Structures are given as C-alpha cells and as structure tokens.
Amino acid sequence: MLSRIAYAFRETWASFRRNLTLTAAAVLTSAVSLLLVGVTFLVQRGFDNLLVRWKGDVQLIVFMTPDATTENVAYVDGVIRSQPNVIDVNKLSYLDKPASYAEAQQLFAGDPTMLSLLTPETIPTQFKIVSLTDDSALLRSLADQYRILPKVQGVSLAEDEFEVISTLSGFVRTVTIVMSLVLLAVAVTLIWNTIRTAMFARRREIEVMKLVGATNWFIRIPFMLEGLLHGLIGGVLSCGGLWGLNRAWESGVAGFKPGTGVSSLVVPSGYVSGVMILLLAIGALAGAIGSGIAASRFLDV
Amino acid sequence: MIRLDNVTKVYGADTVAVRDVSFDIAKGDFVFLVGPSGSGKSTLLRLMSRQERPERGDVWISGKNVNEMPDSRVPYLRRSMGNVFQDYKLLSNKTVFENVAFALEVIGKPRHVINQQVPAVLDLVGLADKADRFPDQLSGGEQQRVSIARAFVNRPLIMLADEPTGNLDPATGEGIMQLLEAINRSGTTVVMATHDHRIVNLMRKRVIQLDRGVLVRDQERGVYE
C-alpha cells in the first residue's frame, strides 16, 4: 500500500516537472478564475451590507430621535398605520435600540470612527415601511408628512438611496458571476488538456503498464492527483490574491470620510476566511473534474 | 492452459483477421504460430491477452473465459502472462533495472521483493552487469533480453512473444530462443508468433500455421513450410 502511495506521488511530481509550461498555464488560469469567484462573493457581501437597511422591499425608513419616548413612538406608529390603503401595515416593523444597533454593526463594519460614536443608547430607532404603491410622488408626500411629526429625526426614501445601488449590485453580480463561470470552464478545460497531454507523452509507459497488469485506477490516480493539485495550487494563489485585494480595499476605504456609506462595503474578516476555504474547495473540485474526465477518456492507448 | 473455440475476429466492416480458429495448448507447451504477415498471428496473441475481443467464439485461459471477464479482472489475467514484442517496448528514460522493476512496481509489489527478484531475473537473461544502462546503450539483442526479463520477472504461467527475433540477426535470435526455451523448461507455457523459418525448423516444436486468418496446420514437432 505504502509503495503504491509513494509511486502515485512520485509520478505526480515527475509529471509536474515535465509539463511545466502547461502546468503553469493551468494553475494561473485556475487562480485568476477563482480570484474572480472570490471577488464576486466579497462584492456581493459589500452590497448586501450597504442594502441591509432596505431588505424586504422597504421603501421608507422613519428615524426617531434617540430621546423619543414610548408615547412618541406609539404616536408615529399610529400615524403610519392610519393609511392602510397606502401602507402595508402587516409588514410595518419597528427596530428598537438593540435591533438598530445590531444593524449598524453590519452597516458600519468598515468605519470604526462611526461605530465608536454609536452606542445602544444614542442610536436612533426606526420604522421600516413597505408601501402598497410605487407612486413616487405619493411616497414623497408621505415622507414629508412624517418628517414634521414630533421626535422624528429624518425620513429616508429607498428611491434615493437604494435603487441606484441595487441596480449596480445586480449588474456587478451578473457580470462577475458570468465571467468567473466562463473562466472556471476555461480552467477546467486547461487542466483537462494538460492531463491529456501528460497522458499522451506517457502513452508508451501506460501501454506497458496495462500489459503487465496495472489496474486502471493505479494508472489514473497520479494523473487525477496532478489535476487536483493544479486546482488546489490555483486556489491557494487566489486566496493570496484575495487577501491582498481585501487588505488594499480596507485601507482604501479607511481613507474616505466617515459617514459616506462607502465603509459598508468592507466585509468582516471571518467572511473572507470562509470565502478562501470555498475557493480551495472549488479549485480542488475543478481540478478533479478536469483530470478525472481526461484520465477516464484517454486511458485506452 | 489456453483454448480457443471457433474464434473469429473482424476489423472494421469486413476485414476478417481470424476465421473460426480452434486449438488447445497444454500447460508447459512451446508453440509457434506461423504464417505470412497479415495471417492473424498477432491478432491471436492480442485475443489471448484480452487486448482484443472476438466477434464470435471463446478464448479460455487457465479455465476462464476471457471474453466474459469483467474489465476490472483483466489486469489480474495479464499478471499471469508475460508479453514480448518485436520492438521491445522498453521505456527509454528508465535504466535496465528500472524497466524490469516497473513491471513489479505497477502491480504493487513492495520494494524488498523488487530488490530481490529483479537482479535474479537479470542474472537469468545475462544482463546482471548492465542493470544501470539505459536501453539506447544496449544492442538489439540485449534490449530484447531486458524485455524478456520484464515479461518473466513476475514468473507468469504464460509467455506471449510476438516476433521476438524479428529485428535481430540470426546468431542473436538464437540466443533469444535459448532464453525462451529455458523459460519454457521452468514450466511457463510459451506461445510465439514468427515467420522466421530457420528458428522454427531448428527448434522442432509444435507449429500452428495460419493463412489469411484460417488455421491450416497444427503439427507437433513441426517445421516451417
């Protein structure tokens, strides 16, 4: 058993060295495509952070001042609910201080200055309103009504903040997903081609192996291992790239003025680590698929 | 040991390589398959090692029907037979020792077995002192000896040789035949395809003659006609 494992690794390494140019091409393509997959995840997470406020078709947010009393809140709640023909009262939600504070943690993840200014006591609470109409003029007149209510700090409209970002987010998601899928397919094809070339270069050896009674799996495994390593090394490189990009992004965002909202695009480091593990897994899988197909199809020599 | 029952092999739509061939080869036999090029000698050897399957008929090796054998069992069938070819099929990037060891390595034999069996078989074929040479540093006869050593290192029950003397001068060819005879004397059944009249006439073994895929003669202690 040990000698078989040693044989598989020795042959994998030898093949790596023999096919250096093709191997490098396969590994780099995997790395670039995986990096793009990683960037897609991070960008999406950044947009999600930015849009967290507007989750669930929320169109209006009424912010209450931090010193608003229960009576003030109940009064505003009553005013909002008094227009059930315009407002979806079943979806009306009120975020108290702890809930608003938790939301701010995500929203301002990359803005420590802003976060340090907020405490569960000083944070404004909010009403999230889903309307039954898309009439922009009507929504604006509602917002104007709410703004003058006592202890209302301000009213935000989805139309102003959300829609541009939402459209942009959808566009970026489509483009990055399509590009990363195309590049992943290219990486699988390149790995497939590299393994096919490696098998062709060793066709005489494979012929002899079959004649002396080597099993197909014994012949296949070093090639499959080689493809798996292509994907895995590509994955490791893409993780390095993603880490560097994320660091550069974080320090770039830190240069913006607090409160501009750009800081929401910073993702937590735990999420980045999760994406890296995912990239390694996708890389290994892509390598295994490419080499597995090649090793099965081209064994008949 | 080897039995063919009404075996027919067709390539493509209508190229009949072997037509309705039947014979029995007992354990320990030495058999020549003779006939001109294209008469079906190599096809018969390929059918025996399941590199090909017949369109009709059955091929039996050691009591097993190799046509009905699942693909996963074929490697184990091949471990019981050694193959020798006219073009040696040696790996040029491996030394003599490594070429022979390769046959044991790929069937998972441990290193200590390899280190014991390879020198012994190289000694048998007279190449003990050339274990570190590469194939292109050897003569044709020596390369064929390496190929025989690789085929025999696993002590197979059957040795299939396809024109093993085809590329060699008569004297070297005789040396190879002496080696195959020695292997046969150790109990291995040898089936050799050849169109070398001189060797067949010299050895006087059983001769199975083919002509355009048809068995035309099966004779004990025969000669090439």
DSSP per position, A80-121: HHT-TTTB-GGG-EEE-HHHHHHHHHHHTTT-HHHHHH--TT
Residue in A4, A205, A207 closest to B108 by CB = A4
* pLDDT in the model for residue A56: 66
> Which residues in chain A have their CB less than 8 angstroms from residue B103's CB?
208, 212
Record: contact A210-B78, CB cut-off 8 A: yes
* pLDDT in the model for residue A249: 85
* pLDDT in the model for residue B45: 94
Least confident stretch, A195-204, A213-222, A262-271, B124-133: A262-271
- Averaged pLDDT for residues A231-260: 84
* pLDDT in the model for residue A301: 44
| C-alpha dihedral, B68 to B73 to B76 to B77, nearest 10° | 10
* CATH architecture designation of domain A56-161: 2-Layer Sandwich (3.30)
Q: How far is A10 from chain B (nearest CA, A)?
A: 12
In this structure, what token pair is assigned to residue B175?
């040396």
- B70: helix, strand or coil: coil
Residue scoring higher pLDDT (B106 or B46): B46
Record: contact B72-A215, CB cut-off 8 A: yes
Residue in A3, A210, A211 closest to B108 by CB = A3
* pLDDT band, very low/low/confident/very high, at A263 (cuts 50, 70, 90): low
Record: contact A211-B107, CB cut-off 8 A: no
- Averaged pLDDT for residues A165-188: 83
Q: How far is B102 from chain A (nearest CA, A)?
A: 8
Q: Does residue B132 register a pLDDT over 70?
A: yes
Residue scoring higher pLDDT (A8 or B73): B73
- Model confidence pLDDT, tens digit, residues B13-38: 888 889 999 999 999 999 999 999 88
Q: Does residue B213 register a pLDDT over 60?
A: yes
Residue in A2, A212, A218 closest to B78 by CB = A212
Q: Identify residue A127 by its one-letter amino acid code.
A: F
Q: Which residue of chain A is at minimal alpha-carbon distance from B155? A: A212
Q: Does residue A136 register a pLDDT over 90?
A: no
| C-alpha dihedral, A228 to A234 to A240 to A242, nearest 10° | -110
Neighbours of B7 (CB within 10 A): 25
Buried b (16+ CB within 10 A) or exposed e, A117-126: ebeeeebbbb
* pLDDT in the model for residue A258: 59
* pLDDT band, very low/low/confident/very high, at B180 (cuts 50, 70, 90): very high
Residue scoring higher pLDDT (B223 or A194): A194
- Averaged pLDDT for residues B188-204: 91
As beta bridge partners, residue A93 has: A128
CA distances from A223 to A12, A27, A46, A191, B110 (A): 7, 15, 39, 10, 22
Q: Does residue A72 register a pLDDT over 60?
A: yes
Q: Does residue A102 register a pLDDT over 90?
A: no
Q: Does residue A133 register a pLDDT over 50?
A: yes
Chain B interface test: which of A208, A210, A223, A296 (most B C-beta within 10 Å): A208
- Averaged pLDDT for residues A187-192: 87
State the Cα–Cα distance between residues B182 and A20, nearest whole angstrom. Answer: 46
Residue scoring higher pLDDT (B32 or A260): B32
Q: Does residue B67 register a pLDDT over 50?
A: yes
Q: Does residue A176 register a pLDDT over 90?
A: no
Q: How far is B90 from chain A (nearest CA, A)?
A: 8
> Which residues in chain B have their CB less than 8 angstroms from residue A300's CB?
none
- With contact defined as beta carbons under 8 Å apart, do A204 and A29 qualify? no
* pLDDT in the model for residue B161: 95
- % of chain B residues with pLDDT over 70: 100
* pLDDT in the model for residue A284: 93
Residue in B51, B79, B91 closest to A204 by CB = B91
Residue scoring higher pLDDT (A160 or B58): B58
> Which residues in chain A have their CB less than 8 angstroms from residue B76's CB?
213
Q: Does residue A59 register a pLDDT over 90?
A: no
Q: pTM for the whole thing?
A: 0.70
Domain residue ranges of chain A, discontinuous segments joined by +: 2-52+163-297, 56-161
State the Cα–Cα distance between residues A36 and B93, nearest whole angstrom. Answer: 41
Q: Does B89 touch chain A (CB under 8 A)?
A: yes
- Averaged pLDDT for residues A246-271: 74
ipTM for this prediction? 0.87
Concatenated DSSP letters of B106-170: TTT--HHHHHHHHHHHHHHTT-GGGTT--GGGS-HHHHHHHHHHHHHTT--SEEEEESTTTTS-H
Concatenated DSSP letters of A221-278: HHHHHHHHHHHHHHHHHHHHHHHHHHHHHHHHHHTSPTTSSGGGGPPPHHHHHHHHHH
Q: Residues of chain A whose C-beta is under 8 A from some C-beta in B? A: 1-4, 7, 204-205, 207-216, 218-219
Q: Does residue A280 register a pLDDT over 70?
A: yes
Record: contact A209-B106, CB cut-off 8 A: yes
* pLDDT in the model for residue A55: 67
Interface of B with A in 178-207 (CB under 8 A): none
Chain B interface test: which of A7, A211, A215, A223 (most B C-beta within 10 Å): A211
- Model confidence pLDDT, tens digit, residues A199-222: 888 888 888 889 988 888 888 888
> Which residues fall within 8 angstroms of residue A286, CB to CB, at 6 or more apart?
A30, A184, A187, A188, A191, A231, A234
Q: How far is B209 from chain A (nearest CA, A)?
A: 25
Least confident stretch, A27-41, A45-59, B20-34, B207-221: A45-59
Residue scoring higher pLDDT (A209 or A49): A209
Least confident stretch, A89-93, A230-234, B4-8, B95-99: A89-93
- Averaged pLDDT for residues B135-163: 94
* pLDDT band, very low/low/confident/very high, at B57 (cuts 50, 70, 90): very high
DSSP B68: S
Q: Which residue of chain A is at minimal alpha-carbon distance from B147? A: A208
> Which residues fall within 8 angstroms of residue A5, CB to CB, at 6 or more apart?
none
* pLDDT in the model for residue B137: 95
